[in-house]
């Protein structure tokens, strides 16, 4: 079931092979043929996954979902464990910051008279032969993105952007103030806090 990305030019090079461009195929489980009991699947998320979700906040999430489906009668219990990372703009400097993204989620699916995937427990009607997990995995990934996205420390932020956002013009080369002539005769690079200290004298 593992989907392997075959290259950057799928659309251009292999027009006859529709399987190659069906990035969501690994996320569809043909449950009709599944025997009762547990079944394990692996699904990889990369930027190609998001081609099917053009309104996504980001396509910079990569990772792997391990899916266990426990089929019992007309019910399927789906446990999804996702491990990966997202690259998002840092709230402080707007530069790329990689944020770990892991979650465990569960979806209960029952077979019934008609399809309804709006409720917490999904019902699949007789016309359904596959369980498509791409939409719930897409939603869970966004649900579990942290609301604060920051580089681990300010030192890792883009210094030019940090200086710009702080209104200082240029970044200081000597942020801990260890040099002796701390900006006494350079006007351009002076941290505004130095001027504030001078005024206190």
Q: How many CB atoms lie within 10 A of CB 122?
A: 20
Q: How far is the CB of 101 from Zn ion (least distance, A)?
A: 18
Nearest to 136 by CA among 178, 82, 200: 82
Give the separation between CA 5 and CA 23, rounded to whole angstroms. 9
Nearest to 34 by CA among 79, 66, 76: 76
CA geometry: angle 168, 176, 167, nearest 5 deg:
10
Q: How far is the CB of 151 from Zn ion (least distance, A)?
A: 4
Positions touching Zn ion (CB under 5 A) are 90, 92-93, 151, 157
Between 41 and 164, name the residue whose CB sits nearer to Zn ion: 164
Between 76 and 157, name the residue whose CB sits nearer to Zn ion: 157
Classify residue 45 by its DSSP letter.
Answer: E
**Six token digits for residue 99:** 């944020």
Between 23 and 92, name the residue whose CB sits nearer to Zn ion: 92
Q: How far is the CB of 90 from Zn ion (least distance, A)?
A: 3
Between 25 and 150, name the residue whose CB sits nearer to Zn ion: 150
Q: How far is the CB of 171 from Zn ion (least distance, A)?
A: 13
Between 65 and 90, name the residue whose CB sits nearer to Zn ion: 90
Q: How far is the CB of 183 from Zn ion (least distance, A)?
A: 24
Nearest to 109 by CA among 129, 89, 138: 129
């Amino acid at each position: 079931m593992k989907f392997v990305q075959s290259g950057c030019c799928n659309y251009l090079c292999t027009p006859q092979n529709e399987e190659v461009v069906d990035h969501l195929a690994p996320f569809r489980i043909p449950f009709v043929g599944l025997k009762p009991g547990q079944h394990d699947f692996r699904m990889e998320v990369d930027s190609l996954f998001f081609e099917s979700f053009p309104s996504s906040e980001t396509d910079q999430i990569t990772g792997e979902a391990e899916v266990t489906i426990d089929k019992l009668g007309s019910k399927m219990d789906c446990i999804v464990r996702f491990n990966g990372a997202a690259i998002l703009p840092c709230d402080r400097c707007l530069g790329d910051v990689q944020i770990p993204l892991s979650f465990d989620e569960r979806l209960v699916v029952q077979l019934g008279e008609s399809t309804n995937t709006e409720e917490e427990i999904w019902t699949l009607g007789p016309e359904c032969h596959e369980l498509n997990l791409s939409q719930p995995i897409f939603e869970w990934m966004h649900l579990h993105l942290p609301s604060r996205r920051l580089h681990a420390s300010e030192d890792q932020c883009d210094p030019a952007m940090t200086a710009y956002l702080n209104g200082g013009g240029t970044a200081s080369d000597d942020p801990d103030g260890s040099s002796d002539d701390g900006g006494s005769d350079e006007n351009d690079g002076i941290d505004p806090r130095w001027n504030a200290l001078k005024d206190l004298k």
